[in-house]
Structures are given as structure tokens and as C-alpha cells.
Structure 1
Amino acid sequence: DINLDVEKENITSGALIDYNVDLSSFKKAIVSIGENCKEDALILVETTVPPGSCMKVVKPIIHDCLRKRNLPLDEIKIGHSYERVMPGPSYIDSIQNFYRVYSGIDQKSADAVESFLHTIIRTDEYPLTRLGNTNATEMAKVLENSYRAMNIAFMVEWSRFAEEADVDLYEVVNAIRLRPTHANLMYPGIGVGGYCLTKDALLASWARQNLIGQNEPLSQSEKAIGINDQMPRYAFEFLQKQYLKLSSTSVLLLGVSYRGDIGDTRFSPVKKLYDYLSETKAIISCHD
């Protein structure tokens, strides 16, 4: 589950120009399963996929493989239940002790997924939620992450406005958070990293056009990704305004991973900020 299924084209500032979704590796994996699985196996997709994948990609491939093996098509079970894992020391705990959403391509598939999940998740405290079809659970995963990416992009825009108006946005956010309905308002930052928020909205937009068959993309969601990709550039330009000369200036970057308490640097925005600073010949130190 890494960010290799979405290939982005960005300009120097980080602005998103174009992107492409490549499912070739995913399809090869499904073919391998179809060529070797038992005729009554449960195939449970837990990774993040474009909405429509189980019905439009997985099911046709598995059925084609079963036909070639002269096996029946009515016993195989295909389902989807996305992970909500938290990388770091709580990884295993976040698998066993958290709510799961699941579905199947038909009734028997959904029932089989439910039975399996009961064996690994503490459903007495974290009940399962069944959705109507696999399109729904696939959409739920990318919508969760697209929602967060959109909120982050929203705060990026307001952080620029606050700087222009000589306002401390952190104190503004703290004041607004006193209102219970706005307690989850985010702080601005220097970027978005990891393998979910940086691309899941693009998976959804691509799916709408290529699997669901619509002409329009999810334009707001795509724009949010583009805004977030430019956040390290904004941070760099802010530093340039504060220090007219960054050459030979000592810069300490506290925090390198894409979130706290993990050792994962995949697509960390700090990498982009580091590259921008390196071009100025600044003296950079990193600590995490």
C-alpha cells in the first residue's frame, strides 16, 4: 500500500499538472490469486483502491481465471474491507481495536467477510459496519482521506491570508475551537505526507471517470491535492522573506517523518523543503 499507483506530474512549485493511475501491479496480483485460489475461496481486498475496483477489475479477472481452470463461478467470494491502521507503536492495536467497514460483491461474500473479521477484531467493543456494496466501502476509504486533505488545503489558503493580514492564525484557531461544533479545526503546517492523503482523492477522481463512466472529475478534491503539494514551497518562500540570505545560514529541521511517533518518511513534505533549502546552499541539519 504505497503511493506507486498514482503517478503525479508536478512543476517546481509543487503545483499538480497531471496524474495517472496505474493498476497494472494490482491486476497482476489478482491474476496470480485467480490462477491459484480454491474455487470457494474468500478474496478480501483491504488495500485502498479506486471505487469500482472490486466489481470492475477484481471480479472479471477472477472469473476469467476460474473459467480457464474449468472451475465454477458461483462459489467464489469477493469482498472489501479497508484498513484504518495507524503506523507506529500502535499499529497492531489499530488493527484489532478499531471499527471496520466491510462489504461484498453479493450476499454470501459479505457474510463471509463478516465471519472472517470477527476472528481478528474485537467486535464486542468495535462493532462492524456493513455497507450495501463494494463500491460503497471503496468510496468510504478514499472519502475519509479526501475529507482530511480538503480540510488541510482549506487551512493553507487561510494561513496565507493570515500572514498577509498580520494575524496569528494559531490563536485564531484556538479561539474558534472553544465552540464545540468547530473543535476539530486544523492548524496550518508545512505540508502533507504519507501514502494516503497525498493521493487518495486522485484515485477517487480517476475512478469517477474511468470506472464509473462519468465525464467530470472531482475537481475540488483534485485541487486540494494540488494545494497541499505546494505547501513546502510556501514554507520555503516564507523563510526567504524572513531571511534575505539563506546561503550559509544554519537551518534545523525538527521532524522528518510525515507524522509524529513513527519512523516513516514516505512522501514527507520535509524532503521537498530540504531540497528547496539545499538549492540556496543553506547549512541544514535534521533531527527526528
Structure 2
Amino acid sequence: MPMLHLSRPAALEDSRPTPVSRVGPIPSPLLWVAGAVMLFFAVPFVGTDMFGLQPDLFYLFYFTIAVVWFAAFLATYRSQLRPLWRLNLRWSLLVGALAGIGIAVIVFRSAGTDHPDGWRWWFEIGWRGVVYGSADTLTLFVFPAAVAYLLMHGDRTGAKRKIGYAGLVLALSLLVSTSYHLGYPEYRDDDLRSPLIGTVMADSSAVLTGNPVGAFLTHTTAHVSAVVHQNEGGPTQMLPPKVTTDYPSHGDSDLAAGLAGLWLLVTAGAVTALVRRRHTSVNATRRG
């Protein structure tokens, strides 16, 4: 009796999974937290304690590192984090705005200080208010909330998971915020109650809605209020480094302000180019 040779059906051959090339493991979000704790302590410690940089130059140093750090983090987890930015966005902005108003009331009810005149006044509102507030927001609030979202695999369904996410956001944010503020000598010599209370208030949008984007409104409002009412520090000390006779005062270097303005132009140009490139790529994909 002849032997029957059965060949494997083509349909079954085609149904086998195609091998996926391995590009290496993605680092754990907790490794990013450990890196942030060390990096954002070192930045103010080196910039203020060790080198005593003129404040506008120190801010340029800090802002550059903060933006590059967050961009690298975002590039690593872009697809996983995309739903986070859309989650309850309107509610996040509303909560963030209300928290910002609350902080502004606290600032304006406390003792005020003098402020510069002319162009530097408006420059400092933009540089130390809006830009500084936004850089802090990325470092202290948006980054920790994004890590919490990744650790929970984007799942906030049910009361228990929402509470767990809120607790994780607060814990990570307070950890990074404590390390960051201890990098400044004025916070090592005093208690950390004011910045940590501010941290909790700025985290309110992520805690209540799941989305940290509202923290931009909270913290930039806090910084602008401090620049307007407490330009030289005041009791709330929202604008480190603290101005003392041993440290270069704000506004003593037009060169630093010029470099800061150039930094803004370059950064705005780079962001615009990236957005246009992505928009062009998306349109080309849709046409294809």
C-alpha cells in the first residue's frame, strides 16, 4: 500500500506568527523616578551651591535639563501615555485653574516685595513666571503622574484603583519635589512645609481627574503671582534661589536675560518644527 504524504495546508502555514525583532527592554518607570530624584537634586545643588550661577542663567540651565529629560521620557513611553493626555482633560483644566486661584489668593494675602521696572518686569513675568512654572510642572507633577499611570497600566477603573492611582501620584510627586527643593540651600536650612503643601495643591488635577495637565494652570499661576507680588522671595519663597547678599541678585545681568530670550526663541522654533514634521507625517500616512 503506497504511503500518503500529507503536506501542511497553506492556510496553516500563513497563520503562524511572524517573528518580531527584539529592540531591547524598555526601562522600568521606577528607574526613571530614581534618575529624577538624583538629577533634580543635583541641578539646583550644582547650579546654586557649587557655582552660584546668576539666577537667570541657573534657570536656563535647569529649564534645558527639565525639557530634555521629559522629552526623552515621553519618547520612551509615547504610545502608552497618549490616552493620559486626553483623559478628563476639561475637568483637569478646571481643577487646575481653581487650585491656581487658591494659591494666588494665599500669595497676595501675604507680605509683598518690590519688583523691577520697565522691560525686565515683563521679562520676569514670562521667564520666572510662565516658563519657570511650566518647567517645574513637567518635573514635579506631570512626570510623576505619568509614571503612576504607567505603573497602573492605565487602568483607573473602580474606586479602589482611582484611590490607588491618586496615592501613587502624591507619593511620587512628593518624593521628586522633596529631593528637588533640598537641592536649594534655603530649603535645607528651613522646613519644607510650604513647597510640599504647594505640591499637593498642584497635584489636585491628577488626583481628582486622573489627568495632570491642569497642573500647568496651577503652578504657572502660582509663579506669576509670586513674581508680581513677591519678586524678591517673600514669606512663601516660591522663586528659588533666594536672593541674599552672598548670592547674585535678580536683574543684575542683562546678558543673562538676553541669553534667556535666545533660549526661548530656539526652544519655540524647535517645538514648532517638531509639530509641523509630525503633522506632515500624519497627513502623508493618511493619503497613503
TM class by shorter-chain length?
A: under 0.3
TM-score normalised by length of structure 2: 0.25
TM-score, length-scaled by structure 1: 0.25
State the structure with bigger RCO (CA 8 A, min sep 6), 1 or 2: 2
Larger-gyration structure (1/2): 2
Higher percent of residues as strand: 1
